[in-house]
Amino acid sequence: MNFPIEILRWRLVAAATAFLSLLLGGCATGLQFNSQDSQGKAEPPPPTEMITEQLIAAEKQASGRPAEQDLSRLMVPNPPPYAIGRGDILSIVVWDHPELAGGGMTAATAAADASGMSASVNANAPQPGFVVDHLGRIQFPFAGLLPVEGLTEEAARALLTQKLARYIANPNITLRVQSYRSKRVYIDGEVKQPGLQAINDIPMTLVEALNRAGGLLPTADQSRIAVERGDARYRVNLRDLVQKGINPGNIMLAPGDVVRVHSRDESKVFVSGEVVTPRALTMHDGRLTLNEALGETGGISPLSGDARQIYVVRKTPERTRVFQLDARLAGSLAMAESFELRPKDVVYVAASPLANWNRQLSLLFPGALTNAVGVTNRQ
């Protein structure tokens, strides 16, 4: 008979259950940190901050301050006209005096250039015209060395007219920039045509630079556009600007600026633990709420998840912060929708005490619960 053997199995399962209950009685089922400093000493775990309406309001206020300060330095509502710089090539025509064209620049050449025919000329090939030298000057017949750096086309034309008026009665002069080579910006990242963009008579705003680069790619993150100017670095969030009613066309680029459009893949949030489908999520133009992150992963697992223990782990330059949400409380879903995640955040849903007990029992006594269920079925 197998009856005594079955009784023995039941007693073993009961003893194992009692032993495991004592073992797990003092164990925490939530998120635990075991960290050490450089000397090998155990460091205290970071404090857990409960997600409340007050905490959400404080986080929004803290995250909104730096962007406003940076953007105020980039805004130029009324950009000045283009100023001639070193390396630019000027097209100068003195009407009725073709002998003053110089450098192969004739009235016919100027007319053809005005019609747009010179657009196909290779930029590296020598072009007719008057090149502004390294000292910001051009050399013109009768006028000699003429300083034009920093002048607009109108101001340079008036200066040249004043010089030639000593030799020519009522000179009629056409002066304009034929080739813009003194000022450039660099566009990099998630755009169709990255590279150098020359600043011309059209104001080089951020929107203009992105359009000249072919526009943003579908993988571009509109909330993470970096403008590097010298040692300063500014972060531009196009989405927030539009929502606040600020025209992005007022962001004026300066010569030498570097614009980098970051990819959405760089702004991921990781969801793990007791959810239906743990995975990495891509933020939507820099925005992803805790509620959206849980929804896109299928929600909390109904079999093993603990709705009381939803954690968000965030690494900051100062310290590691741990936020906790108790989804059983009234208004928790509204707070989860208002709590905005940041890139590289880790969302973790802890297992319920029953799920932890089942897993520990399976590790210590493999097949014990299965044998117990089999005995019950045979009875």
pLDDT digits (tens, 9 = 90+) for 302-336: 988 999 999 999 998 888 999 999 998 888 989 99
- Of 114 and 334, the structure prediction assigns the larger pLDDT to 334
Whole-angstrom Cα distance, residue 323 to residue 360? 27
Whole-angstrom Cα distance, residue 123 to residue 88? 12
Most confident of 245-249, 257-261, 355-359, 366-370: 257-261
**What pLDDT is recorded for position 276?**
94
Q: Give the model confidence (pLDDT) of 213-228 as tens digits.
A: 999 999 999 988 999 9
Exposure class string for 106-125: b at 16+ Cβ within 10 A, else e = eeebbeebeeeebeeeeeee
Fold match, 73-78+185-265 / 89-119+126-179: no
State yes or no: pLDDT of 24 exceeds 60.
Answer: no
pLDDT band at 18 (very low <50, low <70, confident <90, very high): low
CATH number of 35-64+267-356: 3.10.560.10
What is the C-alpha R_g of the chain? 35
How does the average pLDDT of the chain come out, rounded? 81
Q: Give the model confidence (pLDDT) of 70-92 as tens digits.
A: 577 888 888 889 999 999 999 99
State yes or no: pLDDT of 2 exceeds 80.
Answer: no
CATH number of 89-119+126-179: 3.30.1950.10
pTM above 0.85, yes or no: no
**What pLDDT is recorded for position 41?**
63
**What are phi and psi for residue 252, nearest 5 degrees?**
-100, 130
Say if residues 249 and 325 touch (Cβ distance below 8 Å).
Answer: no
* Mean pLDDT on 149-173: 93
Most confident of 7-11, 26-30, 111-115, 164-168: 164-168
CB within 8 Å of 161: residues ≥ 6 apart? 171, 173
Residues facing residue 354 across a β-bridge: none
Strands 173-179 and 89-94: antiparallel
State yes or no: pLDDT of 119 exceeds 70.
Answer: no
Whole-angstrom Cα distance, residue 312 to residue 270? 10
**What pLDDT is recorded for position 109?**
43
Task: Parse the chain into domains and list their residue ranges.
Answer: 35-64+267-356, 73-78+185-265, 89-119+126-179
Whole-angstrom Cα distance, residue 216 to residue 278? 30
The two tokens of residue 316 are 């900051």
Of the candidate ranges 35-49, 100-114, 349-363, the one whose mean pLDDT is the lowest: 100-114
**What pLDDT is recorded for position 116?**
41
Whole-angstrom Cα distance, residue 218 to residue 42? 46
pLDDT band at 118 (very low <50, low <70, confident <90, very high): very low
Can you name the CATH fold of 73-78+185-265? Outer membrane lipoprotein wza fold like (3.10.560)
**What pLDDT is recorded for position 199?**
94
